[in-house]
Homo-oligomer: A and B are copies of this chain.
Amino acid sequence: MKIVHIIEEVRQSVQAAKKQGAKIGLVPTMGALHAGHGSLIEAAMAECDFVVVTIFVNPTQFGPGEDLDKYPRTLKEDAAYCEKLGADLIFAPSDKEMYPASQLVWVDVDKLTEGLCGAKRPGHFRGVTTVCAKLFNIVGADIAYFGQKDAQQVAVIRQMVQGLNMLLEIRICPIVREPDGLAVSSRNQYLSADERQRAVCLSQALTQCKEQIDAGQRDAAILTARMRTVIEHYGGRIDYVEIVDAEILQPLHAIEGRVLIAVAVFFGRTRLIDNILLDLK
């Protein structure tokens, strides 16, 4: 496995693989790799001949006062993990390599970015879409892999690919969970032991919500109120609890069709997200 830091080197490696007929898989990450990322790399390995993992803590998707500086950077461990899983190439560029000058060009996705995390993190998604567009163009992959845990990101990236007629395919892999149900996340390591225990409330609220829907409840106001109760019982500070359509992410009243149930909850200064996707006939 090679580790490269320069755009031109990625392009050369990928070009060489393509010339031999390889199907190229891309797993874009911010590093601090965990089992969630591992499942993406494994999915890419199963489907592609040459798998590129990018590791870049993208400054343009962090707002002022967010955790850009303290975001974990663990390239050595990440590289060992990628190698173990069989990835072919790590691309770990510097900020300067990705943003050599003041960035004036942005991919903006309307509507889908207004609610949920977008409402609380202005500019976050334009940072995400812009860096993904750059990485897609740099790597030239056939398929890119994302995790369902970042549900809004997933919907936004899908919309970007459709809306700009990008040629690559997007694959979404299911959320990987700890035994107690907590979605794995690079930010879980910020939690104290006590917070870690209480953080189970996100997945519990979602599971209970699904049970109520299975039992016939279709009123979003009732369902979200119950989720809020569960989360507050565990002392979580709610950022949002929402039920939206899965494509454009607009709030629903009576739920039907493809539905996203999404929560964001603070424990101390750590913000956790989780979600569940349902297809209601």
From 95 to 128 in chain A, residues with beta carbon under 8 angstroms from any chain B beta carbon are 103-112
Q: From A138, A165, A167, name the one whose CB has the most chain B CB atoms within 10 angstroms.
A: A165
Given A137-B166, A165-B134, A165-B138, is A160 in contact with B108 using a C-beta cutoff of 8 Å?
A: no
Binary CB contact string for chain A from 140 to 162 against chain B (1 if under 8 A, 0 otherwise): 10000000000000000001101
A138 to chain B, nearest CB (A): 5
Given A130-B164, A133-B164, A164-B133, is A104 in contact with B138 using a C-beta cutoff of 8 Å?
A: no
Chain B residues within 8 Å of A163, by CB: 103-105, 134
Chain B residues within 8 Å of A162, by CB: 105
Tallying the copies of this chain within the complex gives 2
A94 to chain B, nearest CB (A): 14
Chain B residues within 8 Å of A105, by CB: 107-110, 159-160, 162-164
Does A7 reach chain B (CB closer than 8 Å)?
yes
Closest to A167 in B: B137
The distance in angstroms between the C-alpha atoms of A106 and B162, with both chains bound, is 12
Chain B residues within 8 Å of A133, by CB: 164
Chain B residues within 8 Å of A7, by CB: 165
Chain B residues within 8 Å of A108, by CB: 105-108
The distance in angstroms between the C-alpha atoms of A220 and B217, with both chains bound, is 70
The distance in angstroms between the C-alpha atoms of A108 and B133, with both chains bound, is 13
Chain B residues within 8 Å of A11, by CB: 167
Chain B residues within 8 Å of A104, by CB: 109-112, 159, 163, 248
Chain B residues within 8 Å of A103, by CB: 163
Chain B residues within 8 Å of A137, by CB: 164-167
From 164 to 182 in chain A, residues with beta carbon under 8 angstroms from any chain B beta carbon are 164-167
The distance in angstroms between the C-alpha atoms of A105 and B134, with both chains bound, is 15
The distance in angstroms between the C-alpha atoms of A167 and B12, with both chains bound, is 12
Residues of A bordering B, CB below 8 Å:
7, 11, 103-112, 130, 133-134, 137-138, 140, 159-160, 162-167, 248
14 more A-B contacts (CB under 8 A) besides A105-B110, A105-B162, A106-B108?
A: A11-B167, A104-B109, A104-B112, A104-B159, A104-B163, A104-B248, A105-B109, A106-B109, A130-B164, A133-B164, A134-B163, A134-B164, A137-B165, A138-B165
